[in-house]
Amino acid sequence: MRLGLLGGTFNPPHIAHLVCAAEALDQLGLHRVELLPVHTPPHKEAEGDPGVDCRLELCRLAVAEDGRLGVSPAEAEIPGRSYTVDTLRRLHAHRPEDELTFIVGGDMAQSLSTWRDPEGILELAEIGVAGRDGVDRDAILDRLSGLRGVPDRIRFFHMPRIDISSSMIRRRAAEGRSIRHLVPDPVAAAIERAGLYR
């Protein structure tokens, strides 16, 4: 199976995450994309973190209506900070028959050479880069040109610009404003029911 992995904090998951997953599915010819929530959010996204179990459940609710999407607990199960190369190794050991594509935004792709063992990452997975208007593919490839596997393991797909962020949704929820249509309805209902981000 050609499996895409979309990592993130998902605090909470929102419509732009799902659009990114759907565009990667269609444009990169993937069979499935799984959201891959981290165990411990980076500092900027830890604000109001309801906990990894809650974020996993919100992700499951977000993808429930699309059979091509799923949720992987591979990073959520490992306490503390996780490294992409280690996650990919675990996934590859568990399901060696899957062809993995790790999905990132253009800004993350630019920094790939600074990640832990970037060539190991490129051996284990292709990198699917969500290119918005204005993302310079040549600049990204040039920046990564010293890595073994570039450009063969880098694939671009177009992502429409959607200005929705998890921090915006947390802020709106804290202010008691509607988040409907910014997150899937089951996610909005769960946030409301549990009083998250208030």
Range of the domain at 171: 2-194
Residue 106 has pLDDT above 70, yes or no: yes
Residue 45 has pLDDT above 90, yes or no: no
Q: How much is the pTM?
A: 0.95
Angle at 64 between CA 60 and CA 69, to 5 degrees: 85
**Number of compact structural domains in the chain:** 1
Q: What kind and span of H or E run contains 37?
A: strand 32-37
In the prediction, which pLDDT does 176 show? 95
In the prediction, which pLDDT does 131 show? 86
In the prediction, which pLDDT does 134 show? 66
**Sign of the torsion angle spanned by Cα atoms 197, 18, 87, 104:** negative
**Sign of the torsion angle spanned by Cα atoms 61, 67, 73, 75:** negative
Cα–Cα distance for residue pair 152/68, rounded to 1 Å: 26
**Sign of the torsion angle spanned by Cα atoms 9, 11, 15, 18:** positive
Q: For the domain that residue 9 is a member of, what is the CATH number? A: 3.40.50.620
In the prediction, which pLDDT does 167 show? 94
| pLDDT tens, position by position, 15-39 | 999 999 999 999 999 999 999 999 9
Rg from Cα positions in the chain: 17
